[in-house]
Structure 1
Amino acid sequence: MILQTENRNCPCGSGKSYSECCRPFHRGEPAPTPEALMRSRYVAFVLNLPDYLRTTWHRSTRPEALTLEDSPGWASLQILTTGESGESANVHFRAIYRLGEGWGCLEENSDFVREQGRWYYLRGDTSEGPLKPGRNEPCPCGSGRKHKACCL
């Protein structure tokens, strides 16, 4: 899947190609900001990269094992707010996914910490539920088209 993604738009929604956006982080380069780390972690869910997720998870809260077998079909990411104060940060995001014939939404306030120049995901407060976009709203898939003309 990664090879097919190299020159396509990055799934994180930045508008850049995957090779210019999240791929360097997946190959070991440290993410320069908590938002960049959050975007690269979202893409790791999309591309099924559990090792990257564990590597970027702070050791104090990191699960011993992580499997993405039951992960939904992620469709788009929206960064709602970001905040940084010294060695800690917060990113509030919404991730949209396919839910049967409809859509689901995972919203999280994520905490990050910086150690030795690297940002790590620490923890998050999540809420989840169905998403019911209107016909004339932007399509949840991230295409930029109206929902009625895209995935309805």
Structure 2
Amino acid sequence: MTGARGARLVQRVSSTRAFALFAPYVVPVLDRAVHRLTRGRVLLSARMLPGLVLTVPGARTGRPRTTPLACMPEGEVEGSWILVGSNFGRPGHPAWTANLLARGGEAVVNWRGRDIPVRATLLEGEERVRVWEAALAFWPPYAAYQRRVERQIRLFRLERR
């Protein structure tokens, strides 16, 4: 199964509660392992969605925390990405979002094997609404994730420093 049909199947599966139960424990572990083994050249989840690896100091410990994430590249020039703090539709905000907020948005992303210093901005108001609509068009399962949680899913724009 390939192409649009395969993409719809993956979207349907990733919208389920069952996926939300196991994916947070399986997908990042596999992504980190493959990313490390290929020296940053391959991110498994990026076969379906663009992906990057975010490194930001922990909010409490200050130790670097590395998280593979799906992203929505913005614009024609590399250097701006949208991150969606969906946490696979689970109740709490993902830890990486709290780390970004605690550290003033300073982080590093590994994009296609290159480390790039970035600054993250939490999107709010009309800008958030506009970007949320773009995110839903980009990956429709985000709508199912939002319906399952009471919190507003955080959106961040990352830009090169």
Normalised to the residue count of structure 1, the TM-score between the two structures is 0.32
Normalised to the residue count of structure 2, the TM-score between the two structures is 0.31
